[in-house]
Amino acid sequence: MMSTRDDLDLDLDPATPVLVGVGQHAEQPGRPGYARLSAVELAAAAARRAVEDAGIDPAAIDTVAGVRQFEISGARAKAPLGRSDNYPRSVAARLGANPARAVLEVVGGQSPQHLVNEFAAAIATGAGPEVVLLFGSEAISTTRALADAPDRPDFTEHVGGQLDDRGYGLTGLSSRYHATHGLLGAPSQYALFENARRARLKLSRAEYAQAMGELFAPFTTVAAANPYAAAPVERDATEIATVTERNRMIADPYPRFVVARDQVNQGAAVLLTSVAAARRLGVPPEKWIFLAGHADLRERDLLARADLSTSPAAIMAVRHALDVAGRTLDEISTFDLYSCFPIAVFNVCDGLGLAPDDPRGLTLTGGLPFFGGAGNNYSMHAIAETVARLRATPGSHGLVGANGGSLSKYSVGIYTTTPTPWRPDHSATLQAEIDSWEPVAVATRADGPATIETFTITHGRDGQRTGIIVGRLDRDGRRFLATTTRGDTDLLDLLAGESPFGEQIFVRATADGNRAAVSRAALTALLPTRSPGFRDGYEHILVRRDGHLLEVTINRPQVRNALHPPANTELAEVFDAYFADPDLWVAIITGAGDTAFSAGNDLTWTASGKRGSVPLTGFAGLTSRRDLTKPVIAAVNGHALGGGCEIALACHLVVADTTARFALTEVRVGLAAGAGGLVRLPRALPPKLATEMILTGRRLDATEAHAHGLVNRIVPAGTALDGARALAADILAGSPTSVRVSLQIMNETAGITDPHDAVTHDSPALDDLLLSEDMLEGLTAFAEKRTPHWRNR
């Protein structure tokens, strides 16, 4: 065999990429050999084995690339025992390597295979790197075991040096909309897909649970024989599928045994070279593994997908990799399909016609729930196992499918010992096709009758259950997310029943997200709608009524009148009452004290980790309100910063005293002016000035703001409220009906750019005005030369 192979490889392009070394390392607290290794040390141990496998000098490595651990996979991720500030170079230093280039890959389980595909292509150009070491690791078991230990280690490292940090790569994988509705972790998101598949196949709960157990039972057999497995216990299908105290339900339909196991200490590494470098470094040809086929594709974002029961992008990636390799599925000897949850495996099986019980097996490691879900690096272990199997059976082909995100990103590699020239893939063309698919329309604020498309029920350790629903609105078919309301056993019972798919529900948008119930009446009982009206007293604001004038004062001077959720709620209720009360014609909003109108969002509240929410009508109950058909005046006394400036921008008129300062300061604290500032400021000021304010936090004083039209009137320091009252009196002298109709027509025509079309816009508000008592009173009073007595009718 070797002589034949030696002859064949002489014909290969010297730039052909080959995989020449692999290594793995694992340890667990309480097991023999446990050394309390850090993530860097685990990766270094695996990398050292990969280098030894190839038999090369680590000094030959010119490029290293690391897969992110969980603790460096997000801006808020924590590392209780510390972490390296340059993970790839920390690992390289342990080996005595000083590569010219270091890379830190984006988040996702596709990362290991994607890095192989990427750097194999770079090597194949002949002008890129020649010796590339890829690695990843997790030390979650050590972190959890020792985080509170008095002798806990400190894994902090400051390495410095060049690093191509590609960022987290989380765009499209998570959103505020997801988080608001409980889709914070992988189990709840994947459960939505899993239940959608059960609905498509019309399987009972018991049938589907058994199918998941039967899929994963062979995985446990493989894991039980794998020395690197985190949970090497063989289980049968019934044990996997049956919910018990130990196998508790996590997110319907997932009990714990089918969920990826993240509590691991594992590392794996892969070494790539060109054929020329492998020859130069003396790597024996029998060590060489060729990447015969490869593909990398990305699915549409979760809610935009036409069918939540499948990921066609993953199936397309596998098919394309087979095409590049010139192989059929029947010619593949080994598989390792990413198995964080059953749906990730079922999806590929469904799309390719691959039987879940295929005698070749679907894993070489034992799968993520049993071998261990080593963070983003699981598939590096799959590649290592594939290489070992192929070397033992020369001439065969092995397929690795690596999944990332929420069935979002899929990378495929087809490996073989058979010398194979490099063949470029056409993933970009296929990706363009995927990106052209029509997305499903989404309603972020959903109201009305709807049907259930798919769902899950999350189960807390405290027994708390929360239903998460993907539904479709009856009126227009838009898709939405909603959750159950605490105490709603009726909807939870429906979801926990045999087949809730397609069942009718009712949904309503709230400040805390969309809430669903079995009917409108049930939702009203659970979340009573508050009729507009004033309370007897308020905790965070002051309310004063003077005839037809309403004065609202933000009363939090100790935090410069910054707003937190309770204050926002009170303001929303007060302005609901104002707009609903026909005897109130003008409103003024101001801030207590003489320092600040409002400093915007209460960042102390936000930074404390307390739950944040904003009313549907927006910040201060004003910035997202559609029914601003009665005047609201901002009396700006002092600083109007961030959200405070956005409140002023949302008001019809602004009176500022000489101490007033206006600014959108969000960029200074890593935020953005999302309560209307980014939209309203460029429309209120010259665009260049508005852009400067938005990008730098520049402040305008009252004089500048007045000169540019942001402020109507400037008054002496400490008299902003008096100035607003004077302006309100001028408005109150006119017809409240005329004022209201004028504002309504201004709102209706705001988006009409052609002046003729705007002028000829036919508004029913004019008809209301012509039929009003106020118009008759106004004309009569004019003729009689007296002051009108307005009635607002």
Where do the structural domains in the chain lie, given as residue ranges?
2-177+258-436, 178-257, 448-526, 541-732, 736-784
The reply to whether the predicted model has a pTM over 0.85 is yes
Per-position DSSP letters for 91-145, written without gaps between them? HHHHHT---SEEEEPPSSTTHHHHHHHHHHHHHHTSSS-SEEEEEEEEEHHHHHH
Q: What are phi and psi of 403, to 5 degrees?
A: -110, 140
Task: Report the candidate in 406, 400, 409 with the shortest Cα–Cα distance to residue 431.
Answer: 409
Q: With b meaning 16 or more CB within 10 Å and e meaning fewer, what string describes 740-776?
A: bbbbbbeeebeeeeeeeeeeeeeeebeeebeebebbe
Task: Report the candidate in 34, 262, 62 with the shortest Cα–Cα distance to residue 144.
Answer: 262
DSSP-derived letter for residue 613 is: -
- pLDDT of 168: 87
Q: What are phi and psi of 700, to 5 degrees?
A: -105, 130
Number of other residues whose CB lies within 10 A of the CB of residue 499: 14
CA atoms of 542 and 592, how far apart (whole Å): 9
Helices H / strands E in the chain, number of each: 27, 27
Q: What are phi and psi of 416, to 5 degrees?
A: -160, 155
Number of other residues whose CB lies within 10 A of the CB of residue 284: 13
Residues 411, 182, 82: CA angle, nearest 5 degrees:
65
Q: Which whole-number Å values give the CA distances from 134 to 23, 43, 129, 290, in the listed order?
A: 10, 10, 13, 16
CA atoms of 629 and 106, how far apart (whole Å): 48
Quote the radius of gyration of the chain (alpha carbons, Å): 32
Token pair 């070797």: residue: 2
Q: Which residues have a catalytic role annotated?
A: 646, 666
Q: What is the CATH number of domain 2-177+258-436?
A: 3.40.47.10
- pLDDT of 423: 97
Residue 52, SS3 per DSSP? helix
User: Are 520 and 531 a contacting pair, CB within 8 Å?
Assistant: no
Q: Which pLDDT tens digit goes with each residue over 562-575? A: 999 999 999 999 99
CA atoms of 213 and 431, how far apart (whole Å): 34
| Six token digits for residue 446 | 């959903």
| Six token digits for residue 540 | 């965070």
| Six token digits for residue 74 | 């997000």
The DSSP H or E segment spanning 743 is helix 736-749
According to DSSP, the residues that pair with 337 across neighbouring strands are 401
Q: Which pLDDT tens digit goes with each residue over 256-302? A: 999 999 889 999 999 999 999 999 999 999 999 999 999 999 999 99
By the 10 Å C-beta count (0-12 exposed, 13-18 middle, 19+ buried), 541 is classed as buried
CA atoms of 512 and 706, how far apart (whole Å): 37
Per-position DSSP letters for 547-581, written without gaps between them? TTEEEEEE--GGGTT-B-HHHHHHHHHHHHHHHH-
Q: Which whole-number Å values give the CA distances from 502 to 196, 338, 494, 495, 645, in the listed order?
A: 11, 30, 11, 11, 45
| Six token digits for residue 434 | 């995927």
- pLDDT of 8: 47
User: Are 324 and 422 a contacting pair, CB within 8 Å?
Assistant: no
Q: Which whole-number Å values give the CA distances from 531 to 202, 528, 545, 581, in the listed order?
A: 44, 9, 19, 11
- pLDDT of 374: 66
Cβ contacts of residue 244 below 8 Å, gap of 6+? 255
Mapping DSSP onto H, E and C, the string for 657-706 reads: ECCCEEECCHHHHCCCCCCCHHHHHHHHCCHHHHHHHHHHCCCEEHHHHH
Residue type at 178? Answer: H
Secondary structure E strands in 140-205: 164-165
Number of other residues whose CB lies within 10 A of the CB of residue 533: 11
User: Are 399 and 318 a contacting pair, CB within 8 Å?
Assistant: yes
CA atoms of 136 and 269, how far apart (whole Å): 7
Mark the ranges of the chain whose per-residue pLDDT is less than 70: 1-10, 374
Q: Which CATH class is domain 541-732?
A: alpha beta
Q: Which CATH class is domain 448-526?
A: mainly beta
- pLDDT of 1: 36
CA atoms of 626 and 620, how far apart (whole Å): 14
- pLDDT of 3: 36
